[in-house]
Amino acid sequence: MLLEAANISYAYLPGKTVLHDVSLQLNAGETLYVLGKNGCGKTTLLSCLGGLLKPNAGRVFLDSTLIADFSASERAKRIGLIPQMHTPAFAYTVRQMVMMGRAPHLPWLGSPTEKDHLIVEEALEQIGLLELQDRPYTEVSGGEQQLVLIARGLAQKCPILLMDEPTAHLDLSNQHRVMEIVHQLGQQGLSFIISSHEPNDALAYADNVLLLSGGWVTEVGKPQDVLTETLLSSVYDIQTEVIYQHENGAKKARAVLPRRPLVVKPDSLQAEGSFLNKIFKKRIEKPQIILVTGLSGSGKTSWCTQMIKEAVESGHSVEGILSPGIFEGNKKTGIEVIDLTSGERKRLARLREEGRGEISTPRWVFDPNVLDWANQRLQNSTGRDLLIIDELGPLEFLRNKGLLAGLERLDQGQFEVACVVVRSSLLPKALQRWPDAQVVRGQL
C-alpha cells in the first residue's frame, strides 16, 4: 500500500474540527476521487495526506512509514501536491515552472544540473508541452497551466500526486484534456488523489470514491457503489438523479444530475394521472411532503390558495396555516396568518422599524403572541388529508424560532400530504431534514 490514512482528524482552531476520523487507502496506479460540498474539508484532507498539515489525531503512512518521519525533501520525493490554480507573482516560463519540481532532488545549496534539464524535458515531452516551454506560465491557457503543474509533478518523480480541484474553472475541452492525461498516467502506474466537484468525472475516471460531508466520511468505495442517488443527495443536500446505461445486460451509472423541481399546476389535482392526483389517489403508504419552492415573491402563497380550493372541491379536507402578505398599494407592509381550520386571521408581522429588540428578521418584526397562537393551531388540528404550512423560512431553519410546531409535525409524520412552502435558497436545508420530499415549483 502506497498511502494510508488511519482515523485522522484536523482542527485549524481548537474546538473547530474540520476533519473527523478519516481513513483511506491508496494503492499503486489507483485514482481516488474525493467529492463533497464547498468547505467540507477536501483541501484540508489533501494537505494532511500530503504532509503539509499534521493531523491532531490519527496517522498518515507513506510507504508504511509515518509521513511526519520524512524530511520535507524526502517526503516530496514520494508525494506531490498540486494546489488549486492561482497566478504566481512572477511570470516564470513553463520550463522554469516544471524545473521547480526538481527541488526535492537537489542538495539544498544546489541549482539544477544537466540531468535535471533532461528530466524536465522528458516530463514536458510526455505531457506534450515542449512547444510551450518558453512561454510565460501566466500567459498559457488554464488547461495548459494545469498540465504544467502535472508535468512539474512528473519532474518531481513521486509515485503519488494529490490534485486539488484540477478541473475547476476549465472549459469542457480542457477538462477533458487534463483528465484524459491524468487517466493515462494512472494506467502507467501513477497514483492520484483528486478532490473535485465533478461526480461525473469520478464516474468516468475514479477507481475509488470518497464522499466527504462536513468533515466526516459518508462513504468510500467503487464509484458504481458510492455514487448513488441516496448518498449523493445526502452529501450535497439536493436531490440528484443518476442516469444509467445498460451495457451487455449490466446496469452502469454514467452521469449524475441534480433533480430539478417539477413544475406543477394546482388544478392538476383533479386531472387523472397527474402528479398531484397520483399523490392524493395513492392514499398513501407513507406521509408525503411536497416542498413548494420559488424565489421570494414568486407566488408560492397564491399557489397554495389555489391548491386549497382544488382540494376542497375534490372532497379533501384541509388544515394548517397560510401567511399571505398585507399590501398597501404595491408595497408589502405586513404578513398575515390564517388558520385554515377555523378561518381566523391575525396580523403576524409588520415592517421593521429601527431599534426594537423583538423576534425579527432583518425586514420583519413578528408578534410573539400570534406566533404562539399559530403554533397552537398547528398542534391541535390533526389527521386530515392536506396539511399546508406556509411558510418555513430562515426563522425556522436557521434560528430555531417561528412555526416550530409545524417543523415538529413534519418531522413526526403527522399528516397525509403536506404542502410546505420553502424559498429556493433554503431548499437544501429543507432537503437535509426531509430527504424524501418531492420538490415542486408552483405554477398557476
Q: Which of 17, 145, 156, 301 binds other proteins (CB under 8 A)?
A: 156
Asked if 75 touches other proteins (CB under 8 A), the answer is yes
Residue 5 C-beta: closest distance to other proteins, Å? 17
Q: Which of 48, 60, 67, 81 binds other proteins (CB under 8 A)?
A: 81
CA gap 324, 206 in Å, rounded: 50
Residue 191 C-beta: closest distance to other proteins, Å? 16
Residues 6+ apart with CB under 8 A from 354: none
Q: Which of 7, 73, 173, 380 binds other proteins (CB under 8 A)?
A: 73
Residue 72 C-beta: closest distance to other proteins, Å? 5
Stretch that binds other proteins, among 33-41, 102-110, 207-215, 400-408 (CB under 8 A): 102-110
**Helices (H) then strands (E): counts for the chain:** 15, 22
Pick 87 or 187: Cβ nearer other proteins: 87
- What is each CA distance from 96 to 72, 132, 139, in whole angstroms? 21, 11, 14
Asked if 122 touches other proteins (CB under 8 A), the answer is yes
H or E, element range at 233? helix 229-236
Helix then strand then coil, in percent of the chain rounded to 5, is: 35, 30, 35
Asked if 88 touches other proteins (CB under 8 A), the answer is yes
H or E, element range at 212? strand 208-213
Residue 130 C-beta: closest distance to other proteins, Å? 8
Pick 157 or 433: Cβ nearer other proteins: 157
Site for other proteins in 257-286 (CB under 8 A): none
How many chain residues touch other proteins (CB under 8 A)?
42
Asked if 171 touches other proteins (CB under 8 A), the answer is no
CA gap 379, 382 in Å, rounded: 7
Q: Do residues 223 and 202 touch, judged by C-beta distance below 8 A?
A: yes
Question: Taking the mean position of all CA atoms in its chain, how far away is CA 217?
Answer: 14
Asked if 336 touches other proteins (CB under 8 A), the answer is no
Residues 6+ apart with CB under 8 A from 281: none
- What is each CA distance from 167 to 170, 175, 227, 250, 335, in whole angstroms? 5, 5, 19, 30, 46
Asked if 42 touches other proteins (CB under 8 A), the answer is no
* Residues near other proteins, by CB under 8 A: 13, 47, 50, 52, 72-77, 80-81, 83, 86-93, 96, 100-101, 103-104, 106, 108-112, 114, 117-118, 121-122, 125, 136, 138-139, 156
